[in-house]
Structure 1
Amino acid sequence: MTLSNIDAFDELTGRIFAKLYENFPKPILLDARRFLDGGEAAVYDARSFTGAKLTPQAEAFVYTAAWLVQEGYIAVRPHSKTNTGFSGAALSEKGLAALKAVPDSLATRATLGERLVQSVKAGTMETLKSIASEVLSVCVKTVILP
């Protein structure tokens, strides 16, 4: 089953945020080969003329990461964009604040970042997408509300 663009975005956002949260404050390489199942084979379409065309999944990863950088959730060094992601990426203040949020409805008091990391490790993609969506909602609320 293929994911809709929003489902793919939510899952990739969750994976990216989990990895950045787990490594914070150390900058890491956000590269499609490290986030997509299948590594190199999942990133480049070998059937393309040059063999350098990105697969749809890799394009989704690159566009998701680029959007998160553009919106200020992830900080990267200048000129760090690569064909398959970004080098030197870390959570920005805005991204870290959202991941450290603890929803009032949770009895466990685990942060959203901790819940993302647990979901990735457990392989619960539906939960991962739900938490990623919740993180972005927290970010939107902090921007809109004073």
Structure 2
Amino acid sequence: MATNIERFDNLVGRLFGELYEAFPIPRNLFCTDMQKHIEAAGLNEIDDFNPCADEARFFTASVRWLGNAGLIEHGDVVAGTAHDCVLTAKGLEILKATPACLEGALGDRLVQAAKHDADEELRQLTGQALSYGISLALHKF
């Protein structure tokens, strides 16, 4: 079973890929589209009225964290749906970066990894993107 950090990196990599591919057009993001990639640990039985309740909590918390970190902007985030999501300038700068160890921008690589369900690569690329974002923030102070 994946850890919360692994689930977070997998989910965020997919969200980054969607938003990078759609930029600058805001997108509505849905837990139901990401449900199979979240694998919430607390899910014991399916709720007919809310089949991804645990995943929705994880999804919602992840989207809000990305917003609080200044990587995306979003409208309302409720019941497993995040409205009007778009990369910020900082988020776009991070995803356009091309680390020396990679061929192509992080965003392009995330899009391809998500399309091929390459979970391990998604987690690694997401980690690189978040680390690069921290590095950028530290160098600006």
TM over 0.5: yes
**How far did residue 85 of structure 1 move?**
2.9
What is the Cα deviation at residue 105 of structure 1?
Answer: 2.0
Match of 2:131?
Answer: 137
**Which residue in 2 is equivalent to 1:119?**
113
Q: CA deviation at 1:34?
A: 1.8
Separation in 1, partners of 2:119, 2:35: 13
Residue 87 of structure 1 aligns to a residue whose secondary structure is strand
Question: Using the alignment, how far apart are the partners of 2:137 and 2:53 within structure 1?
Answer: 34
Aligned pairs, how many?
134
Deviation track 1:18-45 (CA, whole Å, cap 9, x = no partner) reads 000011111000110122239xxx9x94
Q: Contact (CA 8 Å) 1:32, 1:84: kept in 2 or not?
A: yes
Per-residue displacement from partner, 1:1-20 (whole Å, max 9, x unpaired)?
x2111000100110100000
Q: TM (normalized to structure 1)?
A: 0.83
Deviations 1:101-141 (A, max 9, x none): 000123x2x00000000101111100001000110001101
Partner residue, 2:84: 88
Q: Give the whole-Å Cα distance in 2 for the aligned partners of 1:33 and 1:119.
A: 19
Aligned to 1:105: 101
TM-score w.r.t. structure 2 length?
0.86
Q: RMSD of the TM alignment (CA)? A: 2.1
Residues 20-99 of structure 1: pairs in structure 2 closer than 5 A: 20-37=19-36, 45-46=46-47, 51-52=49-50, 54-77=52-75, 80-99=76-95
How many percent identity over aligned positions? 31
CA offsets per residue over residues 34-84 of structure 1, 9 Å max, x none? Answer: 22239xxx9x9416xxx348532232111111100111100124xx22221
> Contact between 1:8 and 1:60, CA under 8 Å: does it hold in 2?
no
Structure 2 gap segments, 5+ residues each: 38-42
Amino acid across the alignment from 1:84: G
Query: Structure 1: which 5+ residue stretches go unaligned?
Result: none
AA in 1 matched with 2:64: A
Q: Secondary structure of 1:37's partner?
A: helix
